[in-house]
Structure 1
Amino acid sequence: MDNHRNVIIAIALSFLLLVGWTSAMDFFYPQPEQALVQDKADTPAEQAAIADGQAPAATRHTRTGGLVDPALQAQEKADLKTALASPQRIRIDAPRVAGSINLRGGVVDDVVLKDHMEGTGDDSEPVRLFSPNGTPAQQFAQFGYLINGTRIADDAVWQADGRVLTSETPVTLTHDLGDGVSASIRYSIDDEYMFTVEQKVTNTGPNPAVVQPYGYVNRTSRTASEDLWIAHSGPIGVFADAADYGIDYDDVDEAQTITPAGRPSWSGFADIYWLSALVPQTGSAPTATFRALGNEIYRADMIYDAVTLPAGQALTTTSRLFAGAKESVVLDRYEDAGLQKFGLAIDWGWFRWFEKPMLWLLRTIYEAVGNFGIAIIALTFIVRGLMFPIAQKGFASMAEMKAIQPKMKAIQEKYKDDKQKQQQEIMALYKQEKVNPVAGCLPMLLQIPVFFALYKVLVLGIEMRHREFLWIKDLAAPDPANLANALSLVGIQVPQFLMIVFGIGVLAVMLGFTMWLTFKLNPSAMDPMQQQIFNIMPWILMFVMAPFAAGLLLYWVTSNILTVAQQKYLYSRHPQLRAAIDEEKAKKAAEAEAKAR
């Protein structure tokens, strides 16, 4: 009766876990791509709420960011068409970046990434990183000066010496500030995502001029990806030789202005896959500040010290602007070239020493086989192959443990009233028989860092984004082969609270089944109540893991299949272990049946 009651309690607790899982996933795991963005005062209902003195609804963010609300998307498209039609633009056509520079203000406000698409469809357009000021998805960079305490007007029209900025042809913008002072900005771009910005002020007038160069990135947070415990999204930078992931948009809203302590190596804004960052002149120590401008608009400033420029002299300041994808190889290449800790723009966390080699191995296998799904399966074989000798030792140790069970029971019975002496004698028995009681746990413990590393690689590594395998279009996203998506094809939308059931994909079902098989072959004999819990647990994991990246589930399913094969093989090598377990299971089942009667 007690066993039945415990099983019922376990089932009830499992049900509570499932019910609470959706709320937990909202906090710990990215929102689905279909989540609606609700922007402040953009809908009639919100405008009415504001008129009634009520607070507007907060913006919701998706896993990868961007505008997903149809009204905002339509407005962005219309605004872009108008803004980019201006003839006062210099076209950008680099190997991996396209767009334009607005001569009104000399602003880099139009950047798309040629090698990264918004979606997986054939008609998908390149990812847009920068949009002009005033558009719903605004994000742009501007470089300028304070001359004698006065800022160059944002609407000042600069003159250009070329029409197209390429990786081989820089473009120089010039502007006459009056009183013999003139300014120029020379833009160049490399083969990746880095702009070099050379700002020069020339004083040909009769009087000294106080010159203070600056640069900034302006963006809205309504396009930001979700800020997660595993992946930072928001203000970011390296200050005083340390990466700072601790500032989010809410922090900037609360403080209005945040100036991190220490010399900035670079600073800007990060999304899960994208980065816009300012890099100061080598050897300089400008002030780096994050500011809240209101209405979900933020700015990352880089302001150099003011310099008094005598008549007849010129001042040149060379900064850089990164506007592109957070590709680990590219970021590390810039870091190797001297850009301090630029690879930490990806929030690898404490275990990056393990995660980055995992990503390297996946990339290497992918280059050999041409498919990331197959690469993940191959990686699983490699990991399990490396751990097989340890698993073999673990099974041998468990066989030895079974062999000394009678001696252990005799010691426990003899010293049942003296626990300390009992423990000493058992330890002496282990030493005498050369048995390691924890050897059987080692393979499971070694899998934990591998599993966590792969999880972070699949979540953070843009290399996994939009990679296909069989029916899966994006291994970094949840398995799309679920009942909710099937019903949506016929116009039936499943409510969010039912997604815990209808959102279970094929890989999650395979995970539950293969996990159940591994538990069935578990070498430890359990009492009936424990057995019932272990029978339920795989199906609980099926619900829990369903929203995770498909690539992660693919790894786990493959690992479970290999575990079953490995256990079958090892049982054939240690038949005495299998026989002892079957005998003990039968004995416990008989005892339970007798107790039930």
Structure 2
Amino acid sequence: MDNDQNKNLIIATALSFVVILVWFVLFPPPEPETQIEGTVTSQTAPVGESLTTPTADAPAVVPEATATPETANSALANAPRVRIETPRVSGSLSLLGGRIDKLSLNDYTTSLEDNATIVEILFPATEPNAQYALHGWAADTGVEASGVPGPNTPWELTSGEILGVDTPVTLTWDNGSGLLFSKQIAIDDQFMFTITQSVENTSNASATMAPYAILARHGIPTDLKNFFILHEGLVAMTDGEYSETDWDKMPEFEFNQRAGARTDERQITENGWIGFTDHYWMSVLVPQQGTAFKSVAKYDERRDIYQTEALSPIQTVEPGQTISNTTQFFAGAKEWDILKSYEDQGVYNFIDAIDWGWFAFLTKPIFWLLHQFNLLIGNMGIAIVALTLLIKALLFPLAYKSYVSMAKMKELQPKMEKLKEEAGDDKQKMQQGMMALYKKEKVNPAAGCLPILMQIPIFFSLYKVIFVTIELRHAPFFGPFQDLSAPDPTSIFNFYGLLPWGVPDAGSIMALVFIGILPLLLGISMWLQQKLNPAPTDPTQQMIFAWMPWVFMFMLGGFASGLVVYWIANNTITFTQQYLIMRSQGYKPDLLGNIKGGFGRKSKAEPKK
């Protein structure tokens, strides 16, 4: 390869290196999971405290509990509960307030250990990581605040015994003043609750009130990833506009005197939802789509409570009439196909709850392809290899032009050497002569940079997909590689997976020094790809080329193993393409000679005979 072409390749490779280096510094690989990931830990105002919830049309107040918080917590601990049992979730709801406050995901464990516990995402107010959802009515005209159900209302179970698929339960409460409240709670075979609230007016006077749904949590979660590439906190869909707010940004909301907290209120005219998300799990309030409601995000700094509310317009129930309101509550894993199914059923743009990032136009199709390959093959590691093959096939026309150009550059080598002799020390004359030669022979010396540059956005998009999607969590490949979202678990310390011993913690100095099998294969594949071309004559260029594969090997060693699998497959396919295309153009890469040249022996490249 001539000196100018070497420079172009070094520029492209160096650019790739710099971008990845900056990415590595700004967004280092996360610590391995050791606890429940993304446990949603929120709650509404504690039992025994009031909640102010303005509706879409006028202010209304949820009745203030009269008991002290200590007494209320005791009442909650002793309140009757209704079991929740489906194939995918288990837990219970409390008859005190009718709150959904205990939920576990049967298909997910906190780690790959044999004794790992099931992931829990909802907790009652008596526990430190409390989170639960409340649904009720806020009093307006014609009804006292004590005449509507609130956080401490003692509901009665009047229908059903266990909440399960196709077996809803019904809770009722009579306010003693002619209003009979009922709440039917149903759950499907995945993660969606449906809550239908009704009010029957048996009195002689009309009553006005507003239905609400509340989800909140105490304090910021203790197990945050704090990783820039990942959003954790508030998520909301507002008439087609998706928004994210980090936990530390909610205390910056403008103070609302009426609510006694910092709030962000938005009027939804047709479609929307609001809730909290973390890495893999999500809890979201979903009002009936196609109807108006007020979406409220709230931070109560007095009690360090993060809260979301979906407030429906005020309704009037006349004597002898019954009114009702239906909302949904999602609490579960952010599985792509499940969110897509809810979106198909009418939950507007629900798939956007997955953190696709700024390059959603790339991350979405990349994930879809990866997901489809995994469904077809049944192994996520092989699916990554298949995705790499497809990407390389799509980029093949560009790669073909690049490698043909590189082969033609080899053919022009004698003419370029003659130009150098004629130009002597006149660099301007040399450059003009080379440009004229390139134009005459229709050769683009920068073409070799394009395949490398094209790989950068794909690399970052795939990294985003592997990191944020739950489908990669605990996804096995083979042997010791049982979690493609985690770094390579092998090391010399466990004889590269042959022994059941621990390895240095990911991100530690020991882990970076004693890297695993996949990073080693990555370095070797980059080194072999480099050896398709003779080493440059310039000593500085030689040094850069010599160190580049091994620097990448150590840098990417702490990244998700699925990403390293992609990079290895990409290097292997690129090596094969380049070798075959250059041979077809009359240039025979002297791989063995170039390897020997890298160890101080003379390298060479012969035309194909």
CA contact (8 A) 1:259 1:287 kept: no
1:65 maps to a residue whose letter is G
Correspondence list, 1:87-126, <5 A: 88-126=80-118
Displacement of 1:429: 3.7
2:471 maps to 1:463 = yes
Corresponding residue for residue 46 of structure 1:
none
CA distance in 2: counterparts of 1:95 and 1:363, whole angstroms: 23
Task: Output one character per residue of 1:23-78: Cα deviation in whole Å (capped at 9) or x when no partner.
Answer: 9658544233248xxxxxxxxxxxxxxxxxxxxxxxxxx9x33499xxxxxxxxxx
Distance 1:482 1:135, change over 3 A: farther
Structure 1 stretch displaced more, 84-93 or 325-334: 84-93
2:399 maps to 1:379 = no
Corresponding residue for residue 31 of structure 2:
31
2:227 maps to 1:228 = yes
Structure 1 stretch displaced more, 340-349 or 372-381: 372-381
CA contact (8 A) 1:172 1:186 kept: yes
Distance 1:182 1:216, change over 3 A: same
Q: TM-score, normalised to structure 1's length?
A: 0.78
Distance 1:406 1:300, change over 3 A: same
CA distance in 1: counterparts of 2:504 and 2:395, whole angstroms: 45
Corresponding residue for residue 521 of structure 1:
532
CA distance in 2: counterparts of 1:458 and 1:297, whole angstroms: 32
Q: Give the percent of matched residue pairs that are identical in Structure 1 and Structure 2.
A: 39
2:131 maps to 1:158 = no
Structure 1 stretch displaced more, 433-442 or 331-340: 433-442
Corresponding residue for residue 188 of structure 2:
190
CA distance in 2: counterparts of 1:491 and 1:401, whole angstroms: 51
1:569 maps to a residue whose letter is L
Corresponding residue for residue 480 of structure 1:
489
Correspondence list, 1:50-129, <5 A: 64-66=37-39, 88-129=80-121
Corresponding residue for residue 79 of structure 1:
none
Task: Output one character per residue of 1:524-564: Cα deviation in whole Å (capped at 9) or x when no partner.
Answer: 73512111122112222222212211111111122223333
Displacement of 1:503: 6.3
Corresponding residue for residue 3 of structure 1:
none
> The residue matched to 1:213 in structure 2 has which SS?
strand
> The residue matched to 2:272 in structure 1 has which SS?
strand
2:403 maps to 1:391 = no
CA distance in 1: counterparts of 2:532 and 2:589, whole angstroms: 9
| Selected match of 2:168 from 170, 191, 205 | 170
CA contact (8 A) 1:211 1:307 kept: yes
1:123 maps to a residue whose letter is N
| Selected match of 1:450 from 458, 467, 477 | 458
Distance 1:503 1:291, change over 3 A: farther
2:343 maps to 1:345 = no
Displacement of 1:568: 3.6
2:565 maps to 1:554 = yes
CA contact (8 A) 2:298 2:307 kept: yes
> The residue matched to 1:449 in structure 2 has which SS?
helix
1:155 maps to a residue whose letter is N
2:262 maps to a residue whose letter is T
Count of residues in Structure 1 that have an aligned counterpart in Structure 2: 530
Corresponding residue for residue 292 of structure 1:
299
2:541 maps to 1:530 = yes
CA distance in 2: counterparts of 1:67 and 1:244, whole angstroms: 19
> The residue matched to 1:178 in structure 2 has which SS?
coil
Displacement of 1:243: 0.9
Correspondence list, 1:297-308, <5 A: 297-308=305-316
CA distance in 2: counterparts of 1:23 and 1:380, whole angstroms: 21
CA distance in 2: counterparts of 1:536 and 1:244, whole angstroms: 43
Structure 1 stretch displaced more, 400-409 or 552-561: 400-409
Displacement of 1:89: 1.3
| Residue ranges of structure 1 left out of the alignment (5+ in a row) | 1-13, 36-61, 69-81, 592-597
Displacement of 1:348: 0.9
Distance 1:510 1:262, change over 3 A: farther
2:264 maps to 1:259 = yes
CA distance in 1: counterparts of 2:454 and 2:506, whole angstroms: 39
2:212 maps to 1:239 = no
Displacement of 1:582: 8.0
CA distance in 1: counterparts of 2:136 and 2:384, whole angstroms: 48
CA contact (8 A) 1:183 1:202 kept: yes
CA contact (8 A) 1:276 1:322 kept: yes
CA distance in 2: counterparts of 1:273 and 1:417, whole angstroms: 62
Distance 1:484 1:259, change over 3 A: farther
Displacement of 1:166: 1.7
CA contact (8 A) 1:116 1:126 kept: yes
| Selected match of 1:439 from 414, 433, 447 | 447
Distance 1:261 1:417, change over 3 A: farther
CA contact (8 A) 1:545 1:553 kept: yes
